[in-house]
Amino acid sequence: MTFSAEGGPPAATSDRFPVGTRLRVTNLDNYRMTTVTVTGPSGSCVLLNAAAMDLIREPGKNVIRRNVVERLDGVAAPAPGGGAQPVETRPGNAQPIGGSVCTGALTFFAEGGAPAATSGQFPVGTRLRVTNLDNNRVVTVTVTGPSGSCVLLNTAAMDAIREPGKNLVRRNVVQLLR
């Protein structure tokens, strides 16, 4: 789980919970928790804003790797992947077969370097091809670490595919290359 630089009172965005859903988020490393309301969509299961993250993170850390997210209205969250088509690869072939391996909008984190991504679904070293369906721009990235998103692009990767002035890529395809 990570956060956006969005201000305001503790809140979150989500690709699994509808706007208005109340969630309790617990950091299992320090057992600090916060209750947030989902205010909009994101490319993550739960993307906390800065105020919510400040309440539960450990000093100097921007990622909460061990966490529990509880829906407070008692309704179960949709299953991860929500209908994404499976993707297969053939040994030695870098061409993807099948549909997108992630659903929802993509966003980014402010980290420099060559185009890369973090992921809560794919191990470090996994290669992915990300296509923005609104402008057909494509970038190939390697997963460099964990995150709370299916795919969270770094600044260079997002700059390669985003439209000017936009920080989300809502219509996208993420293909597994390995």
The range of the structural domain enclosing residue 26 comes to 12-71
Least Cα distance to 151 among 117, 105, 127 occurs for 117
pLDDT digits (tens, 9 = 90+) for 65-106: 777 787 877 554 444 443 322 223 233 334 343 455 666 666
Q: Are residues 112 and 154 in the same domain?
A: yes
What band does 37 get if pLDDT is binned at 50, 70 and 90?
very high
Cβ(52)–Cβ(14) below 8 Å: no
The verdict on residue 1 lying in a domain is no
Give SS3 for 161: helix
pTM over 0.95: no
Which residues 6+ apart lie within 8 Å of 92 measured at CB? none
The verdict on residue 160 lying in a domain is yes
Cβ(134)–Cβ(121) below 8 Å: no
What average pLDDT does the chain have?
76
Q: Are residues 127 and 161 in the same domain?
A: yes
The verdict on residue 77 lying in a domain is no
Give SS3 for 54: helix
The verdict on residue 67 lying in a domain is yes
Residue-level pLDDT at 98: 42
Q: Are residues 22 and 50 in the same domain?
A: yes
Q: Are residues 21 and 98 in the same domain?
A: no
Residue found by looking up tokens 């992915």 in the block: 128
Cβ(38)–Cβ(48) below 8 Å: no
Cβ(25)–Cβ(34) below 8 Å: yes
Residue-level pLDDT at 33: 85
Q: Greatest CA separation found in the chain?
A: 49
CATH number, position 159: 2.40.40.10
Q: Are residues 64 and 93 in the same domain?
A: no
Q: Are residues 142 and 114 in the same domain?
A: yes
The verdict on residue 80 lying in a domain is no
The verdict on residue 2 lying in a domain is no
Domain count, the chain: 2
For the segment 140-149, the average pLDDT, to the nearest whole number, is 86
